[in-house]
Every structure is written in C-alpha cells, then in structure tokens.
Chain A
Amino acid sequence: MSMLRKVWNLFSRTRLNREIEMELAAHIEMCIHDNIARGMTPDQARRDALVRFGSRAAARERVAGVDAALLLESLGSDLAYGCRQLMKNPGFGVTAIVVLALGICASVSIFAFVDATLVKPLPYQAPWQLVGLFESNPLGPRFHLSYLDYLDWKRMNHVFSSLEAYDNIQVALKTANGVQRADGAVVGASFFRMLGIAPSLGRDFYAGEDTLNAPRTVILSFSVWQKRFGGRLDILGKTVSLDGTTTTIVGVLPRDFYFGPLDSVEFWMPIHESLNPDLRGEHGIMALARLKDGEQLETARAEIGKIAQQLAAQYPDADGGRGGTVVPLVEMVVAGIRPTLWLLLSAALLLLLIASINVSGLLLLRFQARQQEIAVRSALGASPARLVRQFTIEAGVLTMIASTAGICSAFAIIHLLRKLIPHNFLSAMPYLNTIGLSWHVVLFAALIGLVCLALFTLIGVLRLPSANLRPGLTEGGRNAAGTVWRRLGANLVIVELCMATILLVGAGLLSKSLYQLMHTETGLEPDHLATLGLLPPPSKYSRSEQRIALASRIIADISRLPGVQSVALAHGLPISNIAGGSTTFEILGDNQNKQQNNEANGRQVSAAYFATIGARLLQGRWFSQSDGVSGPLVAIINHAFARKYFAGQNAIGKHFRFDASLPPIEIVGVVNDLKEGPLDSDVQPTIYTPFEQGADSNFSVIARTEQAPQTLLTTLEKTIHQIDPDLLTMNAETMEDRIQNLQSTYLHRSSAWLSGGFAAIALLLSVVGLYGVIAYSVSQRTREIGVRIALGASRDSVCRLILGQGGRLIGVGIAAGLLCALGTGVLMSKLLFHTRPWDIFTFLGVTILLAASAITACLIPAHRAAAVEPIAALRSE
C-alpha cells in the first residue's frame, strides 16, 4: 500500500470507514444474490447472509484496527475524551491545574536565576583560567595591590600567561552642561586581550600604552558610545576631556561586554601610575591573571604566596606582613549568592513535589469515582495497557496545561523579581540583565513536566491492575481498592506534611536570621541620617588646605539648613559592603606589641562626626576645635583597637604613627565599636583622625535631621552645587536605606521572604491535602459510622475517632518533618546569622502552627461524621 494511502487513512477515518463499509456491504449483497439463486426467499437469503457474516460493526472495527497508522487516531480520540472529562469536572480540573502550575512557576522562576548566575559561563575566552589576585594582610585575605607590587608580580611569576591590573575610578567628564561624574576604569594594556575580547570598533590598547608618559587614550563602552556620543561612526580619533586631560578615543567595546568585579564602566583607560618607589605602600589596585594552560590553581596560589613573601622581606615598610592569594574569577563574581540560590531552588523543588503529590491525590480520588466506567471498559475488551494509556493521556493533558500556565506566569514572575533587585546589586551582576526564558529554562520546565507526568502515570499503574472489577460494576459495593487508596492517600499526606514542615522550619530559621541581622548592634543611631558622597575635582583641590577650607564651608552652609541638627564629614561612611581604607601603623612606647606592621581601618572624620551619628564615648574625649591644622596630632581609636593592642592598659595618652616617615600621633579617646563593613562582619580595629589633620580627596557628608531624612537629600545636593558646581555628588541616601540596600542585607531579606512565601503555600497545600484524605475516608465510612451511632456511640466519640485518625497522620508527618528539618538546618547553617540550626523556638513554633492548622482541617469532616444520621447512612446502598 502506498505511503500516501497510509497517511491519507490517518486523516480520514470516516473515509476509511465508509470504504470498509462499502466493501462489506458488497460482500453481503453477493452472498444474498447467490442464496436466492440457490432457491431461498429474499428474506431468508438476507437473514442467512447477515447471520453468516456476523457483527458488521465488530468486523469493521477489526479491519480498521489492523491499520497501524490509525494508532495516532485512537490517541487523538483518547485526547478528546480526556479534555471532555476535564471540562465536565471543572472544579477538579482547575484545582489540579492551579496547584501544579504554582509549583512549576516557582521552580522555573528560581531556575532562571540559577541558570543566569551559575550555569551560563562568563563571556570570556576559557573563563576557568581567569583568576583574581589579592594581597592579604592581618585584617583579611582580599586587599588591594600596590602598583609596584603588581609590576613585580607580573615580572616574577611563572604560572600566568598574562597578568593585568584593573581598578575603578571616578572621572570628571567635561560636557556641554558642565562637569559630570562618570564611571571609569584603568586597566593594564593587555587587559582585553587577556579576556579574549576585541573592541567592536577601532583598536585595543598597545603594549606599553600603560606607562606614565604614554599619550592619553580611552576605549568607550558600547552603551556610552550610544548614549553620550550618539553612536557616531566617526568617533575614532575624537577627543574628550577626562579629569581635565584631553584624551583620544581609540575604540568601542562590543555591545554585550561586561566585567563583573567592576560596576558599569563607561570609560576604559590604560593605567598610568608613577614608578616612584615611595609609592609601594599605596595599595589601591586589583589584578586579574590568566593561568597558563595546564597550570593548577594551587600551584599559582603557592607561587604568588612565595613572591609576596619575597617582596615583604625586600620592602618591609610597604609590604611587611602581607601575603598574596589567588581566587578564580567565577568565585569572585557569584560566590556570594551561590548558596542562597541553591537554597531557594531546593525550596522551590520541594514545593513542586508537594504540589505534584497533591495533584496525584486528586487524580486518585477521581479515579475512585470512575471505577464503574473502568469496569465497563475492561468488560468491553480494553486491555490494562489501553486503560493505562488513557490515564496517562488525561494526566498528560493536565500536566501540559499546567506547564504552559506555569511557564507563562514564571515569565512574569522573573521580570517582577528582577525589578525588585536594588540597583547597586544589579550593576554588580550584569548577567541578570539578560535573564529570561532561555532554552535552558524551557528545557528545565519540560523536564519537570515530564517528571510530574511520570509520577502520575506511576500512581495510575500501581492502582489499575489491582482493581477488583466486579464490585465496581455493582453499585455501591465496598471494594478492597478503597482501602488501598486510603492507605496510599494517607502515606502521601504524611510525605506532604513532612515536606511542609521542612519548608516552614527553613523559612522560620531564615526569618530569625534576618531579624538578628537587622537588629545587630551597629554602634550608631541610623535613624534620621542623610548622607551624600562628594568628589572634589583634584585639579581644583589639589592642596590639603583647599580641601579643609571646602570642608568648613560645606559644614557651615549645611548646618544653616532648616531641620539639620548637626552635620559632619567622613572619609568613609559606616556600614558598607566592604570596610575599605586599611592602613598600617606602628605603636610607640614600651608596649608588648612591638610588631611593626599592624593593620587597622583608617578614617578621617570631622569634629562633629561621632555626635552626629550617635556613637558613644568610652574613654577620653571627642575631637574639638583645637584639633586643627596647627594643633598636635591626635586620634580616637575604637574599642576593638584598644582591646587588641592595649589590653589591660589605659589607651589614652599612648602614641603611635602610621609609618616611620610620619610624626607620632596621640590617642585622646576611645569610641564604641562602629560597624564599618557589612552587618554580619566582625568589627576591626579602627583609627579615627581629624579631618583637618589630613584630608583625603573624596569624602561624604552626613547630617542628622529633625524631619524625615529623605526630604533633605535634594536640598543637600543643591547646597553643595551652590558652593561649587564643579563638585561631583553621588549616592544621596538615608542611612537606613543604605543599610537596607547592602548586598548581604538584601540577600538575607529576599531569601527570608521567598522561602516564607513557599512555606506558606506548602502549608496551605498540605493542610488541604490532609482535609481531602480525611473527608474521603469519612465519606467511605458513612455506613460504619451509622452503625456505630445506632449501636450507641456518642457523637463526641465519633468525632474523636475521626480526629484520632487525622492526628495519627499529622503526628507521623510532623515528627518525620522535624527530623529532616534538623538535617536541613545544618546544611543551611552557612546562611544563618546568629541563629542555631536547632533553634528551639522556631521548631516549636512551626510544630504548633502546622498541628493547629491540620487539626482545624480535620475538624470539618469530623463534625460531618458526628452529624451522620444513622438511619440514612444504613439505608444508603
């Protein structure tokens, strides 16, 4: 038979049927004709022919059944039947679809984030070979390098095929509207070559273009080329004025280029630093390197450590006590959020599991109700395989609709979640900009859809062959299958309750951890504080006296503003993502700590700083007006410093110096510990020096206000610009917003909220599942309950019977859940702040909440059971 004919048959079942019909009819007519020729009457002839032939319908079915290509057609009719069934029971259909879609949506949304962050490789050549280099010092392992150290590391290593510096800077860009601040970066000349990126327009930097005397050149980022320069094609060779220097544009980077460790950068320039050996102690840049093919990370780490030690021995003033570390670029970029993402993905998958179990329970329940239909089908000749096929197709329709709904809502949720990420977080993770339904994500959604379908089919397969068919055919018969389902349904509910417990405990622990974080002692009073960052252009304020004069003017003008209680300046604001600004120092006098190379955080602050932020003086005095340019050099240390270096002594009156070339400084006060870094980091020893005795180039204004600090922010900026329009301002925010937008705070907050949301949904689903099982069992036991009541049982005892049944399920489920939750808590302990994984209050709280909700769910069927009329129950057959 030609292929065309087969395909044709596929699409025209009716046509095929008609042909077969005609063929069989012709056969019968010929038989009748012969019968009449043999002598029968027409009636007899017809009857004989038909009887001889047998059932025409069956024959036709059998002929058509031979047609292999019609398998698809029968699948189609199964599909249509399944859809009709779903539409006939909209309540069941909608519930099942919504529950499953919820689980799928949650999992797919979180997976999109996991995929964008962890699965997609960095957009560079061989990104696993790229590593970041850091110097370590007594304060910690990841600190900046100095330019001269960088050059030495570059020269002396044997493990890297290339090593280039990078650093982010603020540039003053001269535009038609005046001077604006722009984000820039300085990089080694072979930086882009090392990454394997070539500019899309123009050229890369030459080797040697990063020396001090090379002509000034710049490569633009794609977005700044579009935004500031209108995407002009003749941009190469044009100049811009950056920091007062005329710089030539030599290239434009590709559109999708980004470099994670630096925030969005507009202008990329070669690094131009002086080779003055005195500057070895200025540690201000970072470095990236590419491992040679075949080199291991450990070897590189060991070699850098050795090189750093050599330099420390050679230059004890600048590099004493410093080592070196090597960190893979991937780690640098995602390490912070990786554990959180895995946590959220696990929570979402648990939720999906609960949702699938709920839906399987619903399907089983419906199957119970269709026992009669299945029995009839079996009697008519349907094999078990055929029945399972039909069950699978119905479950498949359900799963497909739910998956589609889940994916569509996941699309919306992904974009919603992305909008909720604070801006500074997003700029550190630019790969999140391309998040969406990539083919990875769609594949994942299809995979979990298939897994759910397999689960449903498995349950169907387990149930069907054991179906005792005869009781199904007779109405109202109690079948053994009912108890099987009751047990299976009960086990499923126990699993659901167990997983809901895990999710609830997880959410509880994360919430407690968030609470601890937000209420951790910061050392200051963050309410009613407005802050603003300032960058005076170095060309205009090159001398220290100019900066001090500017500072006094700013303080005077701002304190005159209405509502401002006090104002101060600081080199670095407290509570930030990283507590930078470390400095070496040396303690003078007869002191046990004779090491020369101690490290502490250094901050330059104005006199009113501590009073403005609400710090507490532990010993000595605050800075005063006499601690000015002409007065003796003084400093205030924090409690951690005093504890570490002056344990058991009075720190007031002791002297130290930053290094041998600088004069000694007297300690005049001890302040309580202020959190300079993130909320969950320890406080390091810190030295505060008066602003007037050494002002750094950029600083921040901080003001305590009477009214809401939000309202003061624009006024602050305007006042600053009135003083000098060339001053660059940035990051105007209140202290409270600053704390909220910290990366670690944000991560804690979002994990707590998201897992809380999942846990709430899981609670709802498992409680509803429990209700379903208990209600069904009550409906099955109506006669038994009627008999009990008729024999004299009180309504209360019936109620207690049902509650007892529910209670057993709840008890086992919660107990198992608490055990697993303990394990989960231990796995999660890295993410918890000041919260133990076996926190008693959380466990107790979750147990009470879940038990109470579950018992409440059981009360409804229990009351219905108690209200059963014995006569009616016994009469119903």
Chain B
Amino acid sequence: MVMAKNDLQGALDLLILKTLSQLGSMHGYGIVMHIRRVSDETIIVEEGSLYPALHRMEQSGWIRSNWALTGYGRKAKWYSLTRVGKEQLANREKNWEQVAKGVAAVLRFA
C-alpha cells in the first residue's frame, strides 16, 4: 500500500513521530527506509509527502533539526523529537488505537 498525500495524513505524522522516538535521531531517507523495512515493504512513504510533513512538524515545534554527516559521507538534515513532539506522539497513538478498534467493530458487524 502506497501512502499518497491525501490518505490519512494523521497516520503519516504518527509513523514519522514513532520512527523518530525509536531511532532517536534520523534523516528523511532513513525514516522512509525504516518504515519500509518494519512494515515489510507494505507502506512506502512518498518523498513528496514526507518532506512537507517534516517541515510542517518542524514549524509546529514537534521535531527539531540539525545538519550532520551521515554514514554515506554526505551532510544531511537529521530530525529528533522535542518534548512537545513526545506528547503529540502519545496522543496520536492513543487516538489511532481507538480509531482502529472502531473500524474493526464496524467491519465485524455482520
């Protein structure tokens, strides 16, 4: 399943925040690769959606950025969670679980 821009933008934010909370600090390419690996190539985030989302979250103060060398020998922009970001992550995780439960209940209803 390929995540387009319009599909569940809230979920995209959730995935990015979770990834960063687990990796501590990562650049955009690394985030894409991590999500692909962990979801077993099911969820491929398009770069065209990722970077606007990253920029937006940076403007809102959920993540902070700094330039640093990558393992590839190039400089890239690394992102990490702020305290506010951590709170946002907790909220969104709870929200998502509730939404998933609701959707599952409707689908189960025969």
Across-interface contacts of B47 in A (CB, < 8 A): 24, 27, 52-54, 59
Contacts of B77 in A (CB 8 A): 19, 22-23, 26
Any A CB within 8 A of the CB of B13: no
8 Å CB contacts to A: which residues of B50-87? 51-52, 55-56, 58-61, 64, 70, 72, 74-77
DSSP majority for the A interface?
A: helix
Once the chains bind, are A26 and B59 in contact (CB under 8 Å)? no
A26 CB, min distance to chain B CBs, angstroms: 4
The answer to whether B76 and A30 have CB atoms under 8 Å apart is yes
Chain B residues in 8 Å Cβ range of A120: none
Report the nearest A residue to B51, measured CB to CB.
A63
Q: A380 contacts the other chain (Cβ, under 8 Å)?
A: no
| A33 nearest CB neighbor, chain B only | B72
Q: In the bound complex, how far is the Cα of B60 from the Cα of A651, in angstroms?
A: 102
Let me know if B96 is at the binding interface, CB within 8 A.
no
| Residues on B with beta carbons closer than 8 Å to the beta carbon of A62 | 48, 51-52
Instruction: Give the chain B neighbours of A52 by CB distance below 8 A.
Output: 47
B48 and A58 form a contact (CB under 8 A): yes
Residues of A contacting B28 with CB < 8 Å?
23, 27
With a cutoff of 8 Å between Cβ atoms, the chain A residues found around residue B41 in the complex are none
A29 to chain B: which residues have CB within 8 Å?
72, 74
A30-B76, A31-B29 known; A23 and B51 CB under 8 Å? yes
Determine which residue in A1, A6, A33, A55 has the highest number of CB atoms from chain B within 10 A of its CB, and name it: A1
CB proximity to B under 8 Å, residues A44-71: 52-55, 58-59, 62-63, 65-68
* Assembly CA distance A30 to B47 (angstroms): 13
**B27 contacts A by Cβ under 8 Å:** yes
Highest count of chain A CB atoms <10 Å: which of B27, B47, B74, B77: B47
Verify A30–B72 contact, CB threshold 8 A.
yes
- Report the separation of the CA atoms of residues A22 and B75 in the bound assembly, to the nearest whole angstrom: 9
**Is there contact, CB below 8 Å, between B55 and A54?**
no
Give the distance to chain A from B73, nearest Cβ to Cβ, in Å.
9
- Distance, CA A26 to CA B55, complexed state (A): 16
Contact A24 B59, beta carbon cutoff 8 Å:
no
- Chain B residues closer than 8 Å to A67, beta-carbon distance: 55, 59
Bound-complex Cα distance A52 to B74 (A): 20
The distance in angstroms between the C-alpha atoms of A27 and B52, with both chains bound, is 14
> In the docked arrangement, what's the CA distance between A58 and B52, Å?
11
A65 to B46 alpha-carbon distance, docked (Å): 17
Q: B49: nearest residue on chain A (CB-CB)?
A: A62
**Chain B proximity mask over A1-28: 1 for CB below 8 Å, otherwise 0:** 1000010000000000001101110110
| Shortest CB distance B28–A (Å) | 5
C-alpha gap A151/B90 in the complex (Å):
90
Instruction: Report the minimal beta-carbon distance from B68 to chain A, rounded to whole angstroms.
Output: 11
B74 partner residues in chain A, CB cutoff 8 A: 26, 29-30
Which of B59, B61, B70, B75 touches A66 (beta carbons < 8 Å)? B59
Report A-chain residues with C-beta under 8 Å of the C-beta of B59: 1, 6, 66-68
Query: Pick the contact of A26 from B46, B48, B76 — CB < 8 Å?
Result: B76
A140 to B8 Cα, complex, angstroms: 88
- B76's nearest neighbour on chain A, judged by CB, is A26
Contact of B29 among A19, A27, A68 (CB under 8 A): A27
CB proximity of B26 to chain A, nearest CB, Å: 12
Q: Are A30 and B51 in contact (CB under 8 A)?
A: no
| Residues of chain B with a CB closer than 8 A to A24's CB | 47, 51
C-alpha gap A62/B55 in the complex (Å): 10
- Kindly provide the distance from the CB of B27 to the nearest chain A CB, expressed in whole angstroms: 7
B23 to chain A, nearest CB (A): 15
Given contacts A26-B29, A67-B55, contact A54 B76 (CB under 8 A): no
B46 lies within 8 A of A27 (CB)? no
> Complex: how many Å from CA A66 to CA B59?
9
- Least CB distance from A114 to B in Å reads 50
CA distance A19 to B67 in the complex (A): 10
Write out, one digit per residue, whether chain A residues 79-103 have a CB within 8 A of any chain B CB (1) or not (0): 0000000000000000000000000
Name which residue of chain A comes closest to B5, CB basis.
Answer: A62
Judging by beta carbons under 8 Å apart, are A66 and B48 in contact? Answer: no
Chain B residue at minimum C-beta to C-beta distance from A53: B47
Which B residues lie within 8 Å of A6 (CB)? 59
The reply to whether A26 and B51 form a contact with Cβ atoms under 8 Å apart is: no
- For A52, the closest partner residue in chain B by CB is B47
CB-nearest residue of chain B to A19: B77
Partner of A63, one of B55, B70, B75: B55
A26 touches B52 (CB 8 A): no
**Chain B residues with Cβ under 8 A from A34's Cβ?**
33
A61's nearest neighbour on chain B, judged by CB, is B52
**In the assembly, what is the distance between CA of A22 and CA of B65, in Å?**
14
CA distance A27 to B64 in the complex (A): 18
CB distance from B110 to the nearest CB of A (A): 42
Alpha-carbon gap, A31 to B27, bound state (A)? 12
A68 CA / B52 CA spacing, docked (Å): 12
Of chain A, the residue at the smallest CB distance from B44 is A52
| Closest A residue by C-beta to B33 | A34
Residue contact B76 to A1, C-beta cutoff 8 Å: no
Task: List which B1-57 residues lie within 8 A (CB) of chain A.
Answer: 27-30, 33, 46-48, 51-52, 55-56
Please state if B51 and A59 are interface contacts (CB–CB under 8 Å): yes
| B65 (CB) vs chain A CBs: closest residue | A1
Which residues of A697-740 are within 8 A (CB) of B? Answer: none
With both chains docked as a complex, state the minimum distance between the C-beta of B16 and any C-beta of chain A, in angstroms. 14
Contacts of B55 in A (CB 8 A): 20, 63, 66-67
Q: How far is the CA of A59 from the CA of B55 in the complex (A)?
A: 12
Q: Are A66 and B56 also in contact (CB < 8 A) when A29-B74, A59-B51 are?
A: yes
**A68–B56 CA distance with the chains assembled, in angstroms:** 9
> Whole-angstrom distance between the alpha carbons of A63 and B60 in the complex?
14
Closest to A60 in B: B51
Cα of A99 to Cα of B17 in the assembled complex, Å = 59
Q: Which residue of B lies closest to A24 (CB)?
A: B51
B50 closest partner in A (C-beta) = A27
Contact between B52 and A66 (Cβ–Cβ < 8 Å)? yes
Identity of the chain A residue whose Cβ is nearest the Cβ of B28 in the assembled complex: A27
A376-424 interface (Cβ within 8 A of B):
none
User: By the criterion CB–CB under 8 Å, are B75 and A54 in contact?
Assistant: no
Q: Which residues of A contact B46 (CB under 8 A)?
A: 54
A873–chain B nearest beta-carbon distance, Å: 51
Q: CA of A650 to CA of B47 in the docked complex: distance in angstroms?
A: 115
**Contacting residues, chain A, for B56 (C-beta < 8 A):** 66
Query: B52 contacts which chain A residues (CB < 8 A)?
Result: 62-63, 65-66
- A63 vs B47: C-alpha distance when bound (angstroms): 11
In the docked arrangement, what's the CA distance between A601 and B46, Å? 101
Q: CA of A27 to CA of B59 in the docked complex: distance in angstroms?
A: 20
Q: Give the interface centre of A26, A29, A53 by most chain B CB atoms within 10 Å.
A: A26
Sample 15 A-B pairs with CB under 8 A, ordered by A number. A6-B59, A19-B77, A23-B51, A26-B74, A27-B29, A30-B72, A30-B76, A52-B47, A53-B48, A54-B48, A62-B48, A62-B51, A63-B51, A67-B59, A68-B59
Q: Which residues of A contact B (CB under 8 A)?
A: 1, 6, 19-20, 22-24, 26-27, 29-31, 33-34, 52-55, 58-59, 62-63, 65-68
Residues of B whose CB lies within 8 Å of any CB of A are: 27-30, 33, 46-48, 51-52, 55-56, 58-61, 64, 70, 72, 74-77
- List 11 other contacts, CB 8 Å, given A24-B47, A33-B72: A22-B75, A30-B30, A30-B70, A30-B72, A30-B74, A31-B29, A34-B33, A53-B48, A62-B52, A63-B55, A66-B56
The 4 closest A-B pairs by CB, nearest first: A26-B76, A30-B29, A27-B29, A66-B56
